[in-house]
Structure 1
Amino acid sequence: MLGVFVVTDEALNTLLIVFMKSNTYNNMKTISLLFIISLLINGAVIESVSVNIGFSITFHTNTVIQSDDVIEWRHGYELVAKRVRGSIFLFSGSEGRFTDRVKLNYETGDLTIIEVRSESIGDYNLQITGEKNTRQTFSVSTRGGYTDHVTSLTVMEGDSVRLKAGVPDFENYDVIRWRFENSSLAEINRKTEIISTHDERFRDRLELDRWSADITITNITTDLSGLYEVKVDSNRGTHTIHRSYTVTVSDEVKSVSVMEGDSLTLHIDIPIQRDDHTDWGFGPDELKPDSIQSLYRYSERFRDRLQKDNEIGSLTITNVTTEDSGVYQVRIIMGNFPQSIKKRFIVTVTARDRSSGVSLGGSCVGVLLVLVSSQVL
């Protein structure tokens, strides 16, 4: 005989309380499984979501929220956000993993996870209790093994910067929108096959990749410093992936002098992490910085005179000669993420008078520090 069992909300809540008071509560996997089973029994919708580490994600309830509805969001079995009796409560989670990283929209019930990390992956369970009960689960995974927490970028005027849209799967995302300082910048709509750019300030220097939806800004100027935002909407309207970048365009110039025979240390002034590494290059013509080649090509010229500090990334050249004048460039590879930051130093070495021991011509050494970002974010 076929039997149909109907499990009410009260019965499920009672069952959860019994388990939580028992020794089974110590088994987190059991509690998570029990919660998911309760969702399935009550017709919860389960949707798979993929997001890049470092990007934010907003889950949409897609339902009309009543003033007296109770809204609960859980990560696995842990409560992370709740709306009840006109108030919003946010929870830090175990070991504070959600501290300052959760937002709950009071009007819509949408949940935002700020800068997704590895500990943020898993199932997010929504339960709305009220006139119309709703349950839904978003199963979140990440793409790629890299970590990217860079949201503030500094570039030199006249250089290029690339900002990553972070679209994880093109089949599930239709609309990608870029904004600059609250004005529309660029958009890709896959349904209508429309690709458009809007801001005249970016004429002839904004490149929009139709496949990745990344943008590249060439010949950037100081007036393009500011906040850049990207939003990627799923084609079902269930969630949005988004991120903000603060871009600073600098025209700063610094100078320093060094004499022939002295030592010169080039400091990158950027914190180096354990997984980062630096790659130094040199070009003998300071007027042609694009001719920079790896220092390995000049091993004979710099034989036994180079010292590289792997902890802070600096490069020291001992007993410098006039032939060492030119452009030095360092490329900083940040972790496993395909991103690099470049710095250039234009160096001129002043020759000494061999007979008197003083410098000839009173020339000074100029070091031009150029912050060049060549990010692929």
Structure 2
Amino acid sequence: MSVLPQHGKENNQTNEALNTLLIVFMKSNTYNNMKTISILFIISLFINGAVTESVSVNIGFSITFHTNTVIQSDDVIEWSYGYSSELIAKLDRGSISLFDGSYGRFFNRVKLNYETGDLTIIDVRDRRVGDYNLQITGEKNTRQTFSVSGRGGYTGHVTSLTVMEGDSVRLDAGVPDAENYDVIRWRFENSPLAEIDRKTEIVSTHDERFRDRLELDRWSADLTITNITTDLSGLYEVKVDSNRGTHTIHQTYTVTVSDEVKSVSVMEGESLTLHIDIPIQIYDRTDWGFGPDELKPDSIQSLYRYGERFRGRLQKQTDGIRSLTITNITTEDSGVYQVRIIMGLCPQSIKKRFIVTVTARDGSSGVSLGGSCVGVLLVLVSSQIL
């Protein structure tokens, strides 16, 4: 009697030998020993061809699992999800079937390549993190599991960023363990931009418009664009291929570079309200800054460190309207005001600048907006709605 199933003619001899070994274990006095049971389990996985590979990816990124198999015309390929092996995609002799999954978690989020059988999961979220099981039935039977874990908060499939001209932009490659990936490629508007090839230890960049502006982190594979200009607005894409060619992690970014600066004039002693016509969403954060320098990630400390200048004169937004009000304004408050809006738990952000001129009651204007106009003062106004 055969204990293990037979998978393919080429495995018959191996199957018979392992079946014999299993029967010996089962008849031995040590069969109930946990170590022996573990050995049986490992042998069973081996003979069934089941291999589990762990994959870590940023939430919001997409991932493609590769079969790395030459698909035969009579092969049946099934992709399932979770411990219950819920069927999400099937390729049966050239015919593709896609399934939404329980609660519609895979609705419009699954693609299946009819030539290779590769499965793409678009926009990995918490509810789509877990085990993805591949089973190929045909001349050669194959089973494999990809165990996917996610990192970070939710982001959409295409991450949109709006930045000011002259700012620096850092685009995340999306892989917490980038050193385990051989080839990382960045593209701009579907043209090669930068890449890392760990096999050859080559880090290369392309496109003359980005000369001396690209910084490609060798370890994280994140791409930084410095001193960005409006002509560099567009679609950026990253693809990260695993060392064994079993999967690819990919993401796209839509970057908009704005040179918009709004000028505002106000009389000394009046109140000034700076409005932003963007609805507030759950978990959004709004950082306000005063001064020409770029807003820093640690600006949350600035309200307490430099608050004396505006103490008692700042009012944050109310009734869902993004705004900052400065009361009893003075000529010394003239200068550049910046705002950065972090859209939810993700890298999406929007930046705007205001040039404020305060005119004194005697008709004189405020301080110059030149390089020495103001010291850097960063003010955080938190706008979270829980």
Query: TM-score if structure 1 supplies the norm length?
Result: 0.77
Q: How does 1:19-34 map to 2 (within 5 A)?
A: none
Match among 310, 331, 334 for residue 325 of structure 1: 334
Q: Is 1:71 paired with 2:77?
A: yes
CA distance, structure 2, for counterparts of residue 186 and residue 90 of structure 1:
35
CA distance, structure 2, for counterparts of residue 296 and residue 348 of structure 1:
25
Q: Per-residue deviation at 1:344?
A: 2.9
Structure 1 residue aligned with 2:274: 266
Residues matched between the structures, number: 325
Q: How does 1:169-208 map to 2 (within 5 A)?
A: 169-208=177-216
Structure 2 residue aligned with 1:43: 49
Residue range with higher mean Cα deviation, 146-155 or 333-342? 333-342
CA distance, structure 2, for counterparts of residue 140 and residue 299 of structure 1:
45
Q: Per-residue deviation at 1:249?
A: 1.6
Q: Is 1:53 paired with 2:59?
A: yes
Distance 1:277 1:67, change over 3 A: same
Task: Deviation per CA, 1:85-137: give whole Å up to 9, x if none.
Answer: 43322111111111111111111100001111111111111112223222211
Match among 266, 277, 281 for residue 285 of structure 2: 277
Distance 1:330 1:225, change over 3 A: closer
Distance 1:8 1:247, change over 3 A: same
User: 1:282 touches 1:295 (CA, 8 Å); kept in 2?
Assistant: no
CA distance, structure 2, for counterparts of residue 307 and residue 105 of structure 1:
54
User: 2:80 touches 2:86 (CA, 8 Å); kept in 1?
Assistant: yes
Q: Per-residue deviation at 1:302?
A: 2.7
Residue range with higher mean Cα deviation, 66-75 or 344-353? 344-353
Q: Per-residue deviation at 1:5?
A: 1.2
Structure 1 residue aligned with 2:106: 98
CA distance, structure 1, for counterparts of residue 263 and residue 336 of structure 2:
13
CA distance, structure 2, for counterparts of residue 173 and residue 269 of structure 1:
42
CA distance, structure 2, for counterparts of residue 290 and residue 242 of structure 1:
29
Distance 1:277 1:225, change over 3 A: closer
Structure 1 residue aligned with 2:5: 7
CA distance, structure 1, for counterparts of residue 162 and residue 341 of structure 2:
14
Distance 1:297 1:348, change over 3 A: farther
User: 1:39 touches 1:136 (CA, 8 Å); kept in 2?
Assistant: no
Distance 1:195 1:303, change over 3 A: closer
CA distance, structure 1, for counterparts of residue 194 and residue 264 of structure 2:
42
User: 2:160 touches 2:348 (CA, 8 Å); kept in 1?
Assistant: no
CA distance, structure 2, for counterparts of residue 200 and residue 220 of structure 1:
13
Match among 231, 236, 251 for residue 259 of structure 2: 251
User: 2:264 touches 2:354 (CA, 8 Å); kept in 1?
Assistant: no
Structure 2 residue aligned with 1:83: 91
User: 2:260 touches 2:353 (CA, 8 Å); kept in 1?
Assistant: no
For 1:175, give the aligned amino acid: V
User: 1:281 touches 1:295 (CA, 8 Å); kept in 2?
Assistant: no
User: 2:65 touches 2:247 (CA, 8 Å); kept in 1?
Assistant: yes
Q: Per-residue deviation at 1:297?
A: 5.0
> Which SS does the other structure have where 1:151 is aligned?
strand
Distance 1:59 1:141, change over 3 A: same
CA distance, structure 1, for counterparts of residue 360 and residue 364 of structure 2:
8
Q: How does 1:328-347 map to 2 (within 5 A)?
A: 328-333=337-342, 342-347=351-356
CA distance, structure 2, for counterparts of residue 335 and residue 223 of structure 1:
27
Structure 1 residue aligned with 2:153: 146
The runs of 5 or more residues in structure 1 that have no matched partner are 10-36, 354-359, 367-377
Distance 1:325 1:127, change over 3 A: same
Q: Per-residue deviation at 1:332?
A: 3.9
Identity of aligned residues (%): 81
Structure 2 residue aligned with 1:233: 241
Match among 290, 293, 314 for residue 323 of structure 2: 314
Residue range with higher mean Cα deviation, 288-297 or 116-125? 288-297
State the Cα RMSD in Å.
Answer: 3.0
Structure 2 residue aligned with 1:34: none
Distance 1:194 1:290, change over 3 A: closer
Distance 1:207 1:271, change over 3 A: farther
Residue range with higher mean Cα deviation, 266-275 or 200-209? 266-275
